[in-house]
Homo-oligomer: A and B are copies of this chain.
Amino acid sequence: MLNQNFIDMLGQKSVIRELFTYGSERAKEIGYENVFDYSLGNPSVPTPESFTQEMLRLLQSEDPVTLHGYSPSLGIDSVRDAVARSLNDRFEMNYQKEDIFMVSGAAGAIAHAVRAVTVPGDEILTFAPFFPEYMPYISASGAVLNVVPADISTFQINFDAFIEMLNDKVMAVLINSPNNPSGIVYSTETIDKLAMILSEKEEEFGHPIYIISDEPYREIVFEGIDSPFIAAHYHNTITCYSFSKSLSLPGERIGYIAVNPACENASLLVDMFGQISRGIGHNCPPSIIQMAVVKSLYDTSDLSVYETNKNILYTELTKMGFEIVEPGGTFYMFPKALEEDAKAFSDKAKTLDLLLVPSDTFGVPGHFRISYCIPTEKVERSIPVFQKLANMYL
């Protein structure tokens, strides 16, 4: 018989994807330029030339048998080494290649990390607002994801609620800074307080509590914002990185896990990730993409458009009366909706061909997410549409 678990998952399709699909259909009817689609977090700027040129060079100069040959299951040695060095250079860390596991994006990275540090029934805590796809990554492993309510005024961490929920079944805390959907960057103060609490509780409970740090937006931080490198502040940190946003390569499925060498069982964890991949028959990210990103480890796409868009939207929407915690990075913001029911608000926006994701699946009611990874001229043209929407609530 078929496995009902996966059939049930079909009923819980992503709200974001549904809105995006609606937008694509609507664009066919009224023209792409007339749909203000803020639904999907798909990078809108091209990958840097360094990546494309390295792909071309590999295809034109390398022996194809070696180039396209099997990658070792933990990743290509020279690639792991280059990733470790780049982290050491940039964040004054002390990674060796043995601490790096190449993986197909941050989603896979999180799924691996969760499976390594939990057994079914263990708990993972994350903080609202949070990326809703954490749910399937974790529930499929048998662990339980519990969500700490948001600190609505800052979107930093609600420590009172956190401490109340931090029991001895919690094996890991999953954080995401810069944050999807709020755009907030956790401050050094927040991270240090989190680290202090976890260290105390590790001692009290007698087992490690890992930070699983989901960092696909690490490179998208706005001017003047303090963005600490999490692993430098807490020993048991498993860093989950994706090149999807920094190099605009979401379809190529390339990222890594970096296990802090100060972590308990660091090298064992990396070996375990290899076995987790083996069990799902997945093995490794594409060889040529692994090799090509090496040339872009210190590079990014031109990410400035996201800050430009943020400034326009934050300024104009605030003027209209929207309450917004100003983002410090990413290409998201998470304003308060103009009515309590976020879905009803999103539906009103939809009548104006303005696609805004309602907040409920992010673990916070009454807000909406704007993904402003779209051309700036379109952001500008959308401002009068936001005004129309606001006017509906006058």
Contacts and interface: CB of A to CB of B under 8 A. Distances in A.
Contacts of A42: 69-70
Given A6-B275, A251-B286, 20 more contacts: A1-B119, A2-B265, A2-B268, A2-B269, A3-B118, A6-B276, A6-B279, A9-B279, A42-B69, A45-B65, A56-B59, A64-B248, A65-B248, A68-B249, A107-B281, A253-B282, A253-B283, A280-B280, A280-B282, A285-B286
Contacts of A82: none
Tell me the number of copies of this protein: 2
Interface stretch (A131-139, A196-204, A218-226, A337-345): A131-139
A105 interface: yes
A2 to B, nearest CB: 6
B64 A46 contact: yes
A139 B278 CA distance: 11
B52 A59 contact: yes
Interface of A is mostly: helix
A117 B286 contact: no
A116 interface: yes
A28 to B, nearest CB: 14
A280 B140 contact: yes
A390 interface: no
Contacts of A4: 119
Given A56-B59, A69-B42, A280-B140, A116 B2 contact: yes
B55 A59 contact: yes
A194 interface: no
A295 interface: no
Contact of A116 (B6, B52, B253, B275): B6
Nearest to A249: B68
Given A55-B59, A65-B44, A110 B250 contact: no
A26 interface: no
Nearest to A120: B3
A46 B59 CA distance: 12
Interface in A22-80: 42-47, 52, 55-56, 59-60, 63-65, 67-71
Contacts of A269: 2
A176 B65 CA distance: 25
A58 to B, nearest CB: 9
Contacts of A9: 275, 278-279
Interface string A104-134: 1111111110011111000000000000010
Interface in A249-263: 249-254
A184 interface: no
Contacts of A47: 64, 68
A296 interface: no
Contacts of A288: 251-252
Contacts of A140: 279-280
